[in-house]
């Protein structure tokens, strides 16, 4: 009965089982760093919410996942799940029963899940206060063995038991208020073939270069494919969430790496990823800190890497962008840059400042230990790169370019004059004028300017980068630093975005040997430890959220470039 499914197997504890466009997944991860004993149907509408618990009738059941099929096994008995489009699951059993229960047993007027029998079609429906959605269970073959908690209020067990027959099959749908009775559009096996074909086409598009030297490429592609959601709520475009675990948002620099990774094979989806935060740009030109289904946060911003990212994106697009798209992008990027020039420069200062470490994306980096409001070298460097990108766009569009070139030169001059100490960059308080150096990799990030740095500066930065290299990659704080913490977020662990930015800058500055080393170590790290939010710099173990899309994208970016160098000799 089981249909063979191409693509890699993956641990459901690390990577959720989902489908491109869907807002829900199957996973035991039910909250931040919280793992249930059973797989749950978890929705990401209005946040992460475990709605239904799916518990096989046999103890000790194992779970195996591939991109098209999730399977529970108990000896020769099994249950299988496949997506029937973004809003529906088909689940079938072979001599193994399944209990589908509300994840929470208490219903109040303001929380919980209610279960009722729908008289219009005989289905059972769970309706969730937390997600504002309904979850309809339609029996396609076999029969319910037991139900409990139908129309119950308050505290009660609410569940449906399936099984007892040799074979059974159901559909589970997520919807808002009403939906036509479920009618199968294909057999279970046909759905498996469709999902397998769709994922194979996606992999062929985004990683056609993959081979034995890039063994994690298919799984990286699955992390992106499965974390993609259809437009809904505040996300008016198809969006690649950072994860379908608890990091189920789009942050305003994370999205850039997903856009770059998708550009060559999925250009339309890539372009949507680049523009998502710009859809919520405020009157001052600032981008939000993050956007989710039901939330847009403006309490912080994120660094202006978007000029750098746009260059990377456009270089990979299979066809040039049309003039209207470029004009819109130019306007948005100009307003974002003016925010930093006008709202984040103190009177009489040439350098912009962060208001908190969160603005940098390196929330707790040791650079911010003494002061939070800081002029930092990474910010200045990213802004220079963005202003140069704007100048080039202006020329291309026939707009005045001098203002952007002049501002880029002004910020670059101030970066080297005010923050460079001869070996690395320091940070400066715009309030007191005091400069302090740290041992954070953040202070070396101006290497991202590549050849736009004086050669002695880039050479010194390259030496500094080498001092951050562990066996597994670039530690954000060196292990011998007094501020190093193994699972300290930006105070030691290896991160994907800093790796990609440093690798690219080193290569453009001519330090190709070090760049190759950085790339090789990061690729090997992902092949060993998957696509975690970050990694222990000394052991290589994955940390925090284990299915993070910018990590998967960074793997694809570096692996594609490695394969291109291998085949072209460049």
Cα–Cα distance, 542 to 66 (Å, whole number): 20
pLDDT in tens, 148-205: 999 999 999 999 999 877 899 999 999 999 999 999 999 999 999 999 999 999 999 9
Q: What is the DSSP string of 8-71?
A: --B-TTTS-B--TB-SEEEEEEEETTEEEEEEEEEE-TTS-EEEEEEEESSTT-EEEE-SS-EE
Residues 6+ apart with CB under 8 A from 282: 288, 298
Tokens in use for 453? 């740095």
- Find, among 369, 209, 364, 344, the residue nearest to 287 by Cα: 344
Percent of the chain with pLDDT over 70: 99
Q: With 90 as the cut, is the pLDDT of residue 447 above it?
A: yes
- Go through the domains of the chain in sequence order and give each one's CATH number: 24-192 (2.70.98), 207-568 (1.50.10.10)
Give the pLDDT mean for 389-403: 97
pLDDT in tens, 43-53: 999 999 999 99
Q: What is the DSSP string of 73-136?
A: EETTEEEEEEESSTTEEEEEEES--EEEEES--EEBTTBSEEEEE-TTTS-EEEEETTTTEEEE
Cα–Cα distance, 69 to 81 (Å, whole number): 6
What is the pLDDT, as a whole number, of residue 524?
A: 98
Q: pTM of the predicted model, to two decimals? A: 0.97
Give the pLDDT mean for 335-354: 98
Q: Could you give phi then psi for residue 379, rounded to 5 degrees? A: -60, -50
CA-CA distances (angstroms) from residue 137 to 3, 185, 302, 328, 360?
23, 16, 42, 45, 45
What is the pLDDT, as a whole number, of residue 4?
A: 39
pLDDT in tens, 286-329: 999 999 999 999 999 999 999 999 999 999 999 999 999 999 99
Q: pLDDT category, 569, cuts 50, 70, 90? A: confident
Name beta bridge partners: 535.
494, 542
Q: Is 492 left (phi over 0), alpha (psi -120 to 50) or beta?
A: left
Give the pLDDT mean for 396-414: 98
Q: With 80 as the cut, is the pLDDT of residue 2 above it?
A: no
What is the pLDDT, as a whole number, of residue 7?
A: 78
Pairing of strands 113-117, 124-128: antiparallel
Any idea how long the chain is?
A: 570
What is the pLDDT, as a whole number, of residue 3?
A: 41
Which residue has tokens 């912009």?
Answer: 352
Q: pLDDT category, 1, cuts 50, 70, 90? A: very low
């Amino acid at each position: 009965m089981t249909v063979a499914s191409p693509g890699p197997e993956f641990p459901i504890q690390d990577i959720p089982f989902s489908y491109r466009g869907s807002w829900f997944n199957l996973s035991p991860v039910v909250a931040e760093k919280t793992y249930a004993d059973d797989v749950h149907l978890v929705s990401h509408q209005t946040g992460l919410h475990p709605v239904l618990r799916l518990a096989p009738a046999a103890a000790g059941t194992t779970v195996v996942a591939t991109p098209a099929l999730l399977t529970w096994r108990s000896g020769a008995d099994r249950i299988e799940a496949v997506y029937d489009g973004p809003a529906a699951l088909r689940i079938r059993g072979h001599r193994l029963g399944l209990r589908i229960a509300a994840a929470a047993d208490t219903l109040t007027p303001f929380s919980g899940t209610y279960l009722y029998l729908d008289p219009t079609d005989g289905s059972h429906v769970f309706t969730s206060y937390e997600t504002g959605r309904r979850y309809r269970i339609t029996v396609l073959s076999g029969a319910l063995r037991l139900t409990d908690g139908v129309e119950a209020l308050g505290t009660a067990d609410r569940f449906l038991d399936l099984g007892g027959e040799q074979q059974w099959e159901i559909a589970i749908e997520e919807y808002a208020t009403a939906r036509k009775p479920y009618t199968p559009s294909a057999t279970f096996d046909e759905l498996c073939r469709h999902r397998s074909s769709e994922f194979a086409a996606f992999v062929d598009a985004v990683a056609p270069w993959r081979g034995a030297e890039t063994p994690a490429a298919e799984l990286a592609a699955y992390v992106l494919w499965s974390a993609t959601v259809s437009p809904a709520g505040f996300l008016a475009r198809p969006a690649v969430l950072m994860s379908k675990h608890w990091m189920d948002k789009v942050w305003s620099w994370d999205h850039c790496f997903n856009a770059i990774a998708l550009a060559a094979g999925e250009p339309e989806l890539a372009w949507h990823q680049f523009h998502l935060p710009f859809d919520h740009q405020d009157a001052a030109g600032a981008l939000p800190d993050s956007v989710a289904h039901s939330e847009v946060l403006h309490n912080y911003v994120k660094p202006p890497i978007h000029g750098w990212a746009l260059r990377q994106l456009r270089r990979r697009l299979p066809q040039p962008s049309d003039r209207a798209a470029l004009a819109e992008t130019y306007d948005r990027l100009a307003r974002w840059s003016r925010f930093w020039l006008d709202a984040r420069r103190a009177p009489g200062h040439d350098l912009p400042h962060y208001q908190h470490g969160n603005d940098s994306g390196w929330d707790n980096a040791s650079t911010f230990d003494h002061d939070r409001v800081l002029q930092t070298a990474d910010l200045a460097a990213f802004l220079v790169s963005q202003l140069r990108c704007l100048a080039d766009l202006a020329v291309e569009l026939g707009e005045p370019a001098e203002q952007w070139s002049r501002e880029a030169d002004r910020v670059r001059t101030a970066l080297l004059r005010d923050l460079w100490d001869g070996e690395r960059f320091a940070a400066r308080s715009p309030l007191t004028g005091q400069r302090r150096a740290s041992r954070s990799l953040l202070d070396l990030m101006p290497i991202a300017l590549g050849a736009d740095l004086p050669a002695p500066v880039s050479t010194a930065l390259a030496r500094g980068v080498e001092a951050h290299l562990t066996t597994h990659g670039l530690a954000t704080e060196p292990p011998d630093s007094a501020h190093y913490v193994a699972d300290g977020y930006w105070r030691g662990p290896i991160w994907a975005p800093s790796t990609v930015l440093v690798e690219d800058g080193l290569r453009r500055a001519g330090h190709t040997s070090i760049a190759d080393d950085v790339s090789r170590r990061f690729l090997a790290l992902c092949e060993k430890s998957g696509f975690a939010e970050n990694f222990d710099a000394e052991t290589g173990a994955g940390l925090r959220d284990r299915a993070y899309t910018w990590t998967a994208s960074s793997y694809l970016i570096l692996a594609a470039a490695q394969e291109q160098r291998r085949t072209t000799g460049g």
